[in-house]
Amino acid sequence: MRQSQLPSFIRKDFPKDEEAYNAQILIRAGFVDKVMAGVYSYLPLGLRVLHRIENIVRKRMNELGANEIVMPVLHPKENWQKTERWSDLDVLFKVIARDKKEYALGPTHEEIVAPLGQKAIASYKDLPFALYQIQTKFRDEPRAKSGLLRGREFLMKDLYSFHATTQDLEKYYVHAIEAYRAIFADLGLDAVLVEASGGTFSKYSHEFQVLIDAGEDTIVYCAQCRFAQNKEINDAHAGDPCPSCGAALALRSGAEVGNIFQLKQKYSEPFGLSYRDADGAQKTVMMGCYGIGISRLMGVCAELFHDDRGLSWPAAIAPFAAHLIVLSGADAAAGEQVRRRADMLYNQLTAAGVDVLYDDRQEITAGEKFAEADLIGVPVRLVVSQKTGDQVEVKKRSDAAAVLVDFNEAVPYCIQK
Ligand code: ATP
Ligand code: MG
């Protein structure tokens, strides 16, 4: 993509009305725009990152055998009354229509997916199956101060599985954990599996937490054996012995990037979700639900992958694979030649399947182009100038040193992980 065709939302300074670093840097670098507390627009660069995160998640969901759907955002009140969450869920956004009828804006989708699931289930032969979506959720969050980590409107992947038996649900739950581990590894994140709540419920629900200072949760964590529990349900102190290996526990901040539950009959019961078993008896369906915070993940990555010059995206989720910069210089004739060479390289890279952001803008100084490239944080920077002659200067965002290579040698630098 030619940068001359890309509107620049880059700002000279960090926004003053934003407390969270992830949102500050993403706004400054032109990835998102703040509309109000907890509500953001995703701009061309930001949407690219979001799509890449989505696609990593989507690929693993499909491998798990789950089927993608899209459910509505606008929900009938009756469904939420059936589960008593119309009155009990404090973050539920409610909407009143002109005829005074009330609706909910979906904060999660058990109330829609359970009755939907019934339409595909008659007998045990129809089970198991799983449905997922990647969709905007709404929650009336009381403390939307963490930027993308806690939106009032945010993007989530939610997966729901349907089973005949508890054993089958448990088996699937383990596969889902494996899929989640693979997703976070693909994203370059070290996510720890955390027991979500204490007592009898703990083995039926887990969180995936990325340990970052900006995280809102406190995690009791053992660096030795990776035992982890949410502090909400654990009164351990830093230095206490780990219940699993005896090493000293630490308290760490964490951002919950995923949350999985064995719902069992919690939502199938209120909706009468049932199947006919082999012996002809009517039985209640078992359900599981599995969430991932897609837009929260983008915020977590911004918190993790940056330096004092700006963002520094891992190749797997970067908005582009390479950032090609042309510096045509003051001399018009020589500049024309440099531009022709850079155009040629751009075409060559594009033809080779490299997703390139091409800074072909004129009237912008070399210093500004470099500073903006560092701020945007594409993993590989390529420079074509009078100085580089027939060659191109290649530099990784994370390195200080650059190398000069021939045009036909540039591609491998851009497709590396
Ligand atoms: P939290 O404990 O952070 O409030 P939750 O347990 O209510 O989240 P779930 O309902 O399990 O979250 O949602 C699944 C995932 O969606 C969470 O693990 C998180 O990554 C993400 N998520 C939840 N709430 C938000 C939000 N307000 N903004 C951004 N992402 C969110
Ligand atoms: Mg949670």
What are the tens digits of pLDDT across the range 93-134?
999 999 999 999 999 999 999 999 999 999 999 999 999 999
Closest ligand 1 atom, residue 257 Cα: 20
Return the pLDDT at 211. Answer: 97
Return the pLDDT at 359. Answer: 98
Instruction: Identify the nearest ligand to the CA of 150 by its number.
Output: 1
Contact 151 CB / ligand 1 (< 6 Å):
yes
Q: How far is the CA of 152 from the centre of ligand 1 (A)?
A: 10
Residue 17 clears pLDDT 70, i.e. is over it: yes
Return the pLDDT at 269. Answer: 97
What are the tens digits of pLDDT across the range 267-312?
999 999 999 999 999 999 999 999 999 999 999 999 999 999 999 9
Return the pLDDT at 143. Answer: 82
Q: How far is the CA of 217 from the centre of ligand 2 (A)?
A: 9
Contact 257 CB / ligand 1 (< 6 Å):
yes
Return the pLDDT at 197. Answer: 63
Distance CA 382, CA 360 (A): 12
Mean per-residue pLDDT, 22-49: 98
In a mutational test of the pocket of ligand 1, which residue from 154, 208, 296, 301 has the highest number of ligand atoms less than 8 Å from its CB?
296
> What confidence category does residue 375 fall into, taking pLDDT thresholds of 50, 70 and 90?
very high
In a mutational test of the pocket of ligand 1, which residue from 218, 233, 257, 259 has the highest number of ligand atoms less than 8 Å from its CB?
259
Residue 184 clears pLDDT 90, i.e. is over it: yes
Contact 108 CB / ligand 1 (< 6 Å):
yes
Return the pLDDT at 202. Answer: 56
3-state SS string for the chain = CEHHHCCCCCCCCCCCCCCCHHHHHHHHCCCEEEEECCEEEECHHHHHHHHHHHHHHHHHHHHCCCEECCCCCEEEHHHHHHCCHHHHCCCCEEEECCCCCEEEECCCCHHHHHHHHHCCCCEHHHCCEEEEEEEEEECCCCCCCCHHHCCCEEEEEEEEEEECCHHHHHHHHHHHHHHHHHHHHHCCCCEEEEECCCHHHHHHEEEEEECCCCCCEEEEECCCCCCEEEHHHCCCCCCCECCCCCCECEEEEEEEEEEEEEEECCCCCCCCCEEECCCCCEEECEEEEEEEEHHHHHHHHHHHCEECCEECCCCCCCCCCEEEEEECCCCHHHHHHHHHHHHHHHHHHHHCCCCEEEECCCCCCHHHHHHHHHHHCCCEEEEEECCCCCEEEEEECCCCCEEEEEHHHHHHHHHCC
> Atom 29 (ligand 1): residue with closest C-alpha?
150
Return the pLDDT at 130. Answer: 98
Return the pLDDT at 75. Answer: 98
Residue 331 clears pLDDT 80, i.e. is over it: yes
> Atom 8 (ligand 1): residue with closest C-alpha?
256
Q: How far is the CA of 222 from the centre of ligand 2 (A)?
A: 20
Return the pLDDT at 232. Answer: 86
> Atom 7 (ligand 1): residue with closest C-alpha?
259
Return the pLDDT at 417. Answer: 55
What are the tens digits of pLDDT across the range 190-225?
999 998 765 555 578 999 999 999 999 999 999 999
Mean per-residue pLDDT, 74-93: 98
What are the tens digits of pLDDT across the range 169-183?
999 999 999 999 999
Closest ligand 1 atom, residue 297 Cα: 20
In a mutational test of the pocket of ligand 1, which residue from 89, 92, 146, 156 has the highest number of ligand atoms less than 8 Å from its CB?
156
> Atom 12 (ligand 1): residue with closest C-alpha?
259
Contact 359 CB / ligand 1 (< 6 Å):
no
Contact 259 CB / ligand 1 (< 6 Å):
yes
Closest ligand 1 atom, residue 139 Cα: 27
Distance CA 160, CA 54 (A): 17
Mean per-residue pLDDT, 335-352: 97
